[in-house]
Amino acid sequence: SQKIEQNSEALNIQEGKTATLTCNYTNYSPAYLQWYRQDPGRGPVFLLLIRENEKEKRKERLKVTFDTTLKQSLFHITASQPADSATYLCALETSGTYKYIFGTGTRLKVLA
């Protein structure tokens, strides 16, 4: 069956460190993989998109990798700050469709 898995346990890290979040999927062939940030009671906010033919994408302190062989994406936040504390969601869109499947999200807490 199709699955998208993110570490459901909260991730606590010290301010200034790099946070690494994982998104694994099975039985999908995504054309794109996206990462969103969600704060409590709010809608998701788009962060980064990576295409199936791209290995890595960067935006300021954010970096995402996409390994279609391992069926995994890693999301990194460098020099993390308490303001980065939120739930981070990965989402897949399978080729040729406009149907997006979200993972359960990983809650990140950056400790001052």
Partner 1 sequence: EPEVTQTPSHQVTQMGQEVILRCVPISNHLYFYWYRQILGQKVEFLVSFYNNEISEKSEIFDDQFSVERPDGSNFTLKIRSTKLEDSAMYFCASSDLGSSGNYNEQFFGPGTRLTVL
Nearer to partner 1, 30 or 80 (CB): 30
Measured CA to CA, the distance from residue 95 to residue 91 in angstroms comes to 13
Which residues within the stretch 65-104 sit at the binding site for partner 1 (CB under 8 A)?
Answer: 89, 91, 93, 97-104
| Residue ranges in 25-44 that form contacts with partner 1 under rule CB under 8 A | 32, 34, 38, 41-44
CB burial readout 46-60, b (16+ within 10 A) else e: ebbbbeeeeeebeee
Looking up tokens 């809608």 gives 43
Residues near partner 1, by CB under 8 A: 32, 34, 38, 41-46, 49, 89, 91, 93, 97-105
